[in-house]
Structure 1
Amino acid sequence: MLQIVFTIGVLFWLLHNTNWQSLSQRFAEIRPWWFVAAMASYALNLSVSVIRWRIILLAMERTAPILWLLRLNWVGAYFNQVLPGAVSGDVIRAWYTRHQTGSMPLALAAVFGDRFMGMGALIVIAAVAFALGGARVGLLPQMGWTIGILLFAYVLIIILILSPLLNFLEKISGKLGDKLHDIRLGMSALLCHRLALSGTIVLSFAIQCISVLTFWLLAHALGEAPDAVALWVVWPVISLFLALPISFAGWGLREGLMVFYLGYLHMGHDQALALSLLLGFTMVLTSLPGALLWIGLHRHHEAPPDLQSQTGAH
């Protein structure tokens, strides 16, 4: 309920200060082929990220058919858009792969690892672009501190996962302690598996470059020519903030941050809002096949024995 209130409040404030005629005119003049290309780019993003997820499962000595994971990735993307919380679809992906991993905690670890590697690539892209951005990045208020804090938090999480500081989880009695311990072991398996880690890092940068491409295509669909700083600093940072569970599927939060940051790069309120709304609509429309793929999924979620890895202990 708080997420819904936050989303409605921010959108009401933004739309209250919007020139409706200008906003509607921008949508009326959308270049259709650029928009279709952006949808294809987002679909490519969802498809390529499946490979990273499967590599992570292999690092944990588990496996699942690539087409099964592709179906679940699309289902997860759909539920990320229609359910409260920033990771609702991720939990669903873990639920339907618990039979391949042998336990729900390991399934969560694999999905969390997938999300975690993507966030790491976003932070690095934003940090490098900020360092190379010159005078243009100086227009963005407190962006250096924001990226620095995100980078510090990310490194701290890696250290905690790999260090013995979290061994106390083993001593927590009951199922909660066991589950937290298994999630940590699953993440450690990925971070200690050099080949899998290298593969997921490369794929993560490729996936995030596709995300930037989607942003660029949608800007051109509206007839905008976005600043390079908007592409490589602002959009990655906004994508990271969208992981926070404070708005409904990112709506409101994305629009507020877009209007705030792009305003400093000389993009008008109506322009930035139109771009952000179009981004949201693109994600919803492209992920809609996930609703159809979810139908009947419960009848197939228990994979045949030959598809469930019995190797390794968690």
Structure 2
Amino acid sequence: MSEQFHRRRLVIQAAKMLLAVGILLVLFYNLRGNDVFIRLWREPKDWRLLGLAQCLVITALSLNFIRWFLLVRALELDFQLRDAFRLGSLGHLLNQVSPGSVGGDLFKAMFIAREQPDRRTEAVATVVIDRVVGLYGILLVATAGQAIAGRSTEMTGAIKTLATVVAAFAVIGTIGIALLMTPAFTGPKVREFAAKFPAIGGTLARLIDAAAVYRSRRRYLFAAILVAGCTHTLLVTAIWLIGRGLPVDAPNFGTTFLIGPMSLCAGAIPLTPSGLGTFEAAMEELYRLVGCAAGTGASVAITFRAMTYVMATLGAIYYLNARKTVKEVLHEAEIEEEIEEGAEPSV
């Protein structure tokens, strides 16, 4: 049964990677004959703006680690800021390159739980809520982007529809967080009912458990949401700077704040590893919808992704210094996944 579990997880991961590669191949195929990448390589670039964009990306990802640190400290777990950066960068690395089924979020949860086994539920709750807060932050920034764009952007029907959908999800997210902070919606009966949903039942149950833990520590939750908003604001600003620094005709600041968060939302959909392919394809299409030349969005997106890999190198350094411990935690995380999915764990 355990071998069947591993085969299934391997197939899922392989399918996600193939989907990412397929999306990128289609994207590049559609740009065949376009000289955008040749110009990107040969023509001069504004390295000052690109360097500033890199600094903003690193700062934004660092804020992600600080956000998680706030959520962990809210539960009074023995956890230091350096631990947040160490595990956060390792988690970021795993989200980019992990060949197995264990992603960065589960790795971080298992690492804390390993060091504090009596606080296992709280450790998992920090990672679940951190992911929810991050996604909610993207929606808030995307919604705010509509106001920032204002009259500087001529929105097509498709852009208007996407903007409406994003705003609707932001409203739904706000209502959902408010309900999760209500005791009546996080009780045992609600959790049991949510756990019965196919495919997403386990995730919903963990979310309800996490919400129950944070209900009495709302100020930390709101602080984390504020940090998430700052994170994604910096990332969108970095996207705009990349567009200014590359030899392409990129959108203005207001338009970037409209379509940049939408691209980040697409990248947050867990169809491919770390949104690889979905983010690039979404940005290329959105840039095209606001009048940019073919290849502009893809150029900006690829440069942005390369900048996020710089932070992954920090995780690689931590990994090289603690390979044995990391491998042990990854193995424990795989066993945990087997148990949650009802498989007989292997040892």
Aligned to 1:22: 36
Aligned counterpart in structure 2 of residue 240 of structure 1, from 246, 251, 265: 265
The 3 A distance-change label for structure 1 pair 107 and 240 is farther
Q: Distance in 2 between matches of 1:250 and 1:93?
A: 19
Question: What secondary structure is seen at the aligned counterpart in 1 of 2:295?
Answer: helix
Aligned counterpart in structure 2 of residue 274 of structure 1, from 291, 295, 299: 299
Whether the 8 Å contact between 1:62 and 1:101 is mirrored in structure 2 is no
Whether the 8 Å contact between 2:67 and 2:227 is mirrored in structure 1 is yes
* Post-superposition CA distance 1:112-146 (Å, at most 9, x none): 22222222222122213324534526321512332
1:67 aligns with 2:82: yes
Aligned to 1:309: none
Q: Distance in 1 between matches of 2:106 and 2:100?
A: 10
Aligned to 2:110: 95
TM-score normalised to structure 2 length: 0.75
CA drift of 1:15 comes to 0.9
Aligned to 1:206: 230
Whether the 8 Å contact between 1:190 and 1:197 is mirrored in structure 2 is yes
Whether the 8 Å contact between 1:106 and 1:183 is mirrored in structure 2 is no
CA drift of 1:66 comes to 0.8
Aligned to 2:132: 116
Task: List alignment gaps of at least 5 residues for structure 1.
Answer: 303-314
Whether the 8 Å contact between 1:50 and 1:70 is mirrored in structure 2 is yes
* Post-superposition CA distance 1:218-254 (Å, at most 9, x none): 2122144432344222111221222222123322111
* Post-superposition CA distance 1:45-84 (Å, at most 9, x none): 2222222212111222323011111111111111222136
- Give RMSD over aligned pairs: 3.1
TM-score normalised to structure 1 length: 0.82
Aligned to 2:66: 51
The 3 A distance-change label for structure 1 pair 149 and 171 is closer
Aligned residues: 299
CA drift of 1:170 comes to 6.1
Amino acid at match of 2:230: A
Identity %, equivalent residues:
19
Aligned counterpart in structure 1 of residue 166 of structure 2, from 103, 125, 147: 147
Higher relative contact order, structure no. (Cα contacts within 8 Å, ≥ 6 residues apart)? 1
Aligned to 2:277: 252
* Post-superposition CA distance 1:192-216 (Å, at most 9, x none): 4243133223222222221122212
